[in-house]
């Protein structure tokens, strides 16, 4: 039965449609080869912080807390394909990432600290999940780099439909640009 009193929330970087399409196009071969269940193109994202089940009444305060963050934007490349055997997912991840990415994640968790949430910070491994219930693959690299210019992050609600997970962005937050004090939400 749907539980309207609670939301399943996470913060994420969401690719713009062009980047989402490039990730999709470049990874179809490897996704097929993995034998896994592909994540649909609209759902491709990079989670920053998974909050878990949250009392819906806390949403306004939680959004306001996130809007207080003043984190810089950054750029990174998704350039490593991996199979994670424990969760049986095929992922693409940055081989290296600027300090600003874990810095943003830390800032989000600091901002969430007053809310005593179900989930908290764990070991952070930035990745985009491409397929679930996948099988192992020989190590391989992508022919092209997927460059991601992170200029904003989102608060997203995860809804489980009969057809699978559906993600609804609830709020967007600008990351600061080097030349300007970016606006909020």
Q: Are 96 and 112 in contact (CB under 8 A)?
A: no
**Minimum distance, C-beta of residue 80 to ligand 2AM, in the bound complex (Å):** 15
**Which residue has tokens 């989000």?**
108
Per the annotation, the verdict on 70 as an active-site residue is: no
Task: Tell which positions 25-64 bind ligand 2AM, by CB under 6 A.
Answer: 47, 50
Binding to ligand 2AM by residue 109, rule CB under 6 A?
Answer: no
The span from the CA of 162 to the CA of 97, in Å, is 36
**Minimum distance, C-beta of residue 89 to ligand 2AM, in the bound complex (Å):** 6
Binding to ligand 2AM by residue 10, rule CB under 6 A?
Answer: yes
Q: Are 74 and 102 in contact (CB under 8 A)?
A: no
User: Residue from 100, 129, 153, 155 that binds ligand 2AM (CB under 6 A)?
Assistant: 129
Binding to ligand 2AM by residue 14, rule CB under 6 A?
Answer: no
Residue 70 vs 85, nearer CB to ligand 2AM: 85
**Minimum distance, C-beta of residue 128 to ligand 2AM, in the bound complex (Å):** 8
Residue 47 vs 145, nearer CB to ligand 2AM: 47
**Which residue has tokens 């081989």?**
95
By CB under 6 A, name the binding residues for ligand 2AM: 10, 47, 50, 89, 129, 158
Catalytic residues: 45, 127
């Amino acid at each position: 039965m749907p539980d309207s009193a609670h939301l399943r929330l996470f913060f994420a970087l969401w690719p713009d449609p062009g980047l989402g399409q490039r990730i999709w196009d470049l990874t179809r071969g490897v996704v097929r080869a993995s034998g896994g269940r592909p994540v649909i193109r609209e759902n491709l994202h990079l989670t920053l912080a998974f909050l878990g089940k949250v009392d819906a009444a806390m949403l306004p305060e939680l959004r306001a807390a996130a809007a207080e963050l003043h984190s810089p934007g950054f750029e990174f490349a998704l350039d490593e394909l991996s199979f994670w055997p424990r969760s049986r997912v095929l992922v693409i991840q940055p081989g290296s990432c600027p300090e600003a990415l874990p810095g943003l994640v830390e800032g989000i968790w600091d901002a969430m600290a007053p809310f005593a949430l179900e989930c908290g910070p764990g070991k952070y491994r930035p990745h985009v999940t491409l397929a679930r219930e996948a099988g192992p693959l020989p190590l391989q690299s992508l022919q092209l780099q997927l460059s991601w210019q992170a200029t904003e992050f989102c608060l997203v609600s995860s809804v489980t439909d009969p057809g699978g997970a559906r993600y609804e962005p609830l709020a967007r937050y600008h990351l600061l640009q080097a030349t300007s004090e970016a606006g909020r939400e």
